[in-house]
Structure 1
């Protein structure tokens, strides 16, 4: 038949033969169907490859995201630790400042003129100093960034403060201050010196002379009771304070006396105004001390550095 195709199907067992006839149009439909099926298979295969690649890429991204989440969790924990550490440091510094002020109050130190606490000295030297009523070591504070070191500083300062409390009364009655709140120089030291009134003779100077302007304020270097307040032919207007434990201090050549015999004075109290009274060659303060009745260098109780 014209424009028709015949397909014969011969069974292998030589059974009855079958034939199919397909027109030209049917052939085209078959070819089109086969091509469409092929394209469909190719498309499915391509899509499968695409899905496989996409899934692999997403798995890599998912793994990266999981790793980032773990890293973020670690960083969050570190940030939380740093915040807690920062809070502790802030609290420690606040306690340090509070203890500094308390310790300065016990030691009669001026916070505006005293640098921050530093552990320059050792606990042993600090203990020895405070046992004599002297000030704990204060020095310029170095920059501290290590929280453990700050905590260590706090513990040391707490030790100093506890020690100061234990010796507070002794500290109050030990003449560790200087009697004048001005830059000091020593005009005449404790010990033998040439006679200031001329000649080549020597005399024993039982105190320290601080030159100062007439009328400069004079302060008690420790707490105690005024035992002498009046005029002396050598020391002029004179004040003596009994601090207990056998310690006395002397303030001579004043122009005016404020404290009277029997007055209880606290460390740092204003007691007189300097002058040039008595056996004196100029306006100055004669400052002396006695321990158990024996004259001693009054500067042995302070950290004052002598300047000529």
Structure 2
């Protein structure tokens, strides 16, 4: 039953929705959206715990796997797809699954979300192991596809995280950790692609970004785990090297060329005076954390 779910309730602020002027409609949506960040902020401790769990598993060659149905599944697939271009991560490191398969990204697959065995089967097809972390996304907190997948994940010893927008949902008893930003009723009753979808996107951004930062993918706020393989990326790489080293355009280009376009390696070479080969070795010893590698060589100066 959906009657008890906050996300399915009627929103008193939008009872005359179809009578509003366009400007009033826009203002109402904006006012309602303003509370989403507050709801997500109330889950900061849980989100931080999730990031630490994900980072720990990724460091041990585990994977982050999102799965869900409908909007929830689409948002997970989107976040996973953005990791390789943003962080130069291996495409197999962060994976998104949607009930009904890839075609469900653009077309609804009727009944796919109602099958708990399908959730388990989709994870099984990936060779799920105890080293992995799964994030089951279900706004309602009751989607059978997600609950079936979470149960299977726990059987396999994977760390199971549930993401929902309802408190005290069924999801809570099927995972190791629950993140539950309660955004309240939508302006269109039950249209959870709106506030709930926004909250979900915000949480997923935090999970993947936080985990990647913990993997050493940034230096300050710079995307340093980048290799220049085309003209656009070469310009971006040069800008990043300049920002991290204060080198001139020509000098940044030279050190990047010396380092085969590897931004991290180029910055390491500049700060330590080591060869590119030695810089790569030092970075590897520091598990890819550029700042740690530099500080080990320079004594923190």
| TM bracket, shorter-chain basis | under 0.3
Q: Which structure has the highest helix share of the two? A: 2
Q: Which has the higher contact order (CA 8 A, sep 6+)?
A: 2
Name which one, 1 or 2, has greater alpha-carbon Rg: 1
Q: Which structure has the highest strand share of the two? A: 1
Query: TM (normalized to structure 2)?
Result: 0.25
Query: TM (normalized to structure 1)?
Result: 0.25
